[in-house]
Structure 1
Amino acid sequence: MAIVFITGSADGLGRAAAQSLLDQGHRVVLHARSADRAAALGELGSRAAGIAVGDLRSAEETRRIADQVNAIGRMDAIIHNAGVYSQPDRGATPEGHATTLAINTLAPYMLTALIERPARLVYLSSGLHRGGEGSLTDLDWTTRPWDSAKAYAETKLHVVALALALARLWPEVLSNAVDPGWVQTRMGGTSAPVDIETGQRTQTWLAVSDDPEALVSGRYWHHLRQQEPAEEAVERTFQDKLIARLAELTGVTLP
């Protein structure tokens, strides 16, 4: 059985993925934004192999999350699930970054670099990533007028590009990106067409399955099927420039 760390697993798709993996007999390390949210995990928390606590908006707390996970031991897989969607303004993290960028892009990048390398990495993206081209001009929204939809699309492009880059840079790791669809969660709303069980299925399958179809790397998935991502995400030049910029913004380099 595998041990899997899932970011943003206090509710929504992350919680559903954790419940699914636990029900299959796997060990799961949960993540909650605060001690109060960790305490509210209830029965799910009591079943977990551990709970990492920290706010992904903060680089300092993101580092602490990595430390907590490393103290538990090497993960077999990590599902980078946490994310935010519609932010009314750019906001500012303790380090001065745009909130959407910090949670959706900088945090998974930092955790990838700082947590002991697992066998599998899964990054949650969105079909909306195809509207995120051109982000490197003003990655942190310091000069552009704020556009929450565009910012979200850009960050979801970033994680696809990161997943595909890692498949190239870390050939011993299975690294993939997943579009779960528009799911009935607090973020997606009750009118979303995809139920939460369907929404979590692909990422948990990629994290633990020994099916030959799941033992691949550098792919973009939607409901257990491979799809073609945005052209920019597969461009090596874009991937390398993005990683260099993320290293610059965070002070963390990929090992």
Structure 2
Amino acid sequence: MRVLITGSADGLGRLAAAQLMREGHDVVVHVRRPDRLDAVADLTSRGAMAVVGDLADVGQVRHVAEQADALGRMHAVIHNAGVYSGAAIMPVNVVAPYLLTALMQRPNRLVYLSSGMHLGGRARLDGIDWSGRRPSGTYSDSKLFVTALAAAVARLWPDVRSNSVDPGWVPTRMGGAGAPDDLREGHRTQEWLATSDDAEALTSGGHWHHRRRRRAHPSVTDEAFQNALLDSLAAFTGVAIAAE
């Protein structure tokens, strides 16, 4: 299986890439800049392919989609890249996965990285600046939005298995060395949803934590909120996610 993992220069993305390669999958890693290719050199030297682009920049996101499609249709895409603070929260955490989903050849499976913090997000789109030119919304808001995106794609594309994952508070650069959750469990669910033939992994529309379904924020499954989110992102990017 060919799997693209965004944000795979370090953290959970890199760990997932290395594990999937060990399992024999074809992996496409993603880094933000050409000089970050050194961070995945051990993976590319063993056969991983790489795409490059800053997910905070809409133009570069489009180029990442073009690079990925040039490698062939992906079996799965793990939308792992994310930032915790700063003006790039909305572009990286929400706009990039939306735009890659809309532009790339449709894969069999989509996995979007959420967070337990999405439960504290606000289902309000007024005042959100998708461009990142000014700070708007919180990390929790962004994770609520991307979790709703995963559920919306599951509804609109019944032929694609689309799920969101709360990886837990794990000891990565973002999570910090003192994070209490198991690092292996932090990326295991993404790998499982992307490649496993287990019956549960072949479902869609779920929100997962450590390979168990969890209840998501009520707005995640609210079709009116999903549609408002999709309309707002389509208006900003000029690209819509078409229904099946």
Query: TM-score, structure 1 length as denominator?
Result: 0.91
Alpha-carbon separation, structure 2, partners of 1:180 and 1:217: 17
Equivalence for 2:162: 175
The aligned length equals 240
Say if 1:162 and 1:243, in contact at 8 Å, map to a contact too: yes
Alpha-carbon separation, structure 1, partners of 2:171 and 2:202: 28
CA displacement, residues 44-70 of structure 1 (integer Å, 9 cap, x when unaligned): 122244100000010110000000000
Equivalence for 1:199: 186
Equivalence for 1:137: 126
Task: Specify the SS of the correspondent of 1:82.
Answer: coil
Q: 1:75 to 1:141 in 2, by over 3 A?
A: closer
Deviation at 1:141, TM superposition (A): 7.9
Alpha-carbon separation, structure 1, partners of 2:161 and 2:212: 16
Equivalence for 1:122: 111
CA displacement, residues 201-223 of structure 1 (integer Å, 9 cap, x when unaligned): 00100000001111100000001
Alpha-carbon separation, structure 1, partners of 2:65 and 2:118: 26
Structure 1 residues 69-218: aligned runs within 5 Å: 69-87=68-86, 90=87, 99-140=88-129, 151-218=138-205
Equivalence for 2:214: 227
Equivalence for 1:15: 14
Task: Specify the SS of the correspondent of 2:51.
Answer: strand
Task: Specify the SS of the correspondent of 2:24.
Answer: coil
Task: Specify the SS of the correspondent of 2:29.
Answer: strand
Alpha-carbon separation, structure 2, partners of 1:20 and 1:110: 27
Q: 1:206 to 1:141 in 2, by over 3 A?
A: closer
Q: 1:253 to 1:43 in 2, by over 3 A?
A: same
Task: Specify the SS of the correspondent of 2:174.
Answer: coil
Alpha-carbon separation, structure 2, partners of 1:154 and 1:120: 24
Are residues 1:236 and 2:236 paired? no
Alpha-carbon separation, structure 2, partners of 1:108 and 1:48: 25
- Paired residue type of 1:222: H
Say if 1:9 and 1:15, in contact at 8 Å, map to a contact too: yes
Say if 1:16 and 1:196, in contact at 8 Å, map to a contact too: no
- Paired residue type of 1:137: D
Q: 1:188 to 1:20 in 2, by over 3 A?
A: same
Say if 1:30 and 1:48, in contact at 8 Å, map to a contact too: no
Say if 2:123 and 2:225, in contact at 8 Å, map to a contact too: no
- Paired residue type of 2:177: T
Query: TM-score, structure 2 length as denominator?
Result: 0.95
CA displacement, residues 84-111 of structure 1 (integer Å, 9 cap, x when unaligned): 0022xx3xxxxxxxx1100000000000
Equivalence for 1:55: 54
Alpha-carbon separation, structure 2, partners of 1:134 and 1:40: 36
Equivalence for 2:3: 4
Alpha-carbon separation, structure 1, partners of 2:227 and 2:45: 41
Gaps of 5+ in 2: none
Alpha-carbon separation, structure 2, partners of 1:7 and 1:211: 24
| CA RMSD of superposed structures (Å) | 1.5
- Please identify, of 74-83 and 43-52, the stretch whose mean Cα deviation from structure 2 is larger: 43-52
Gaps of 5+ in 1: 91-98
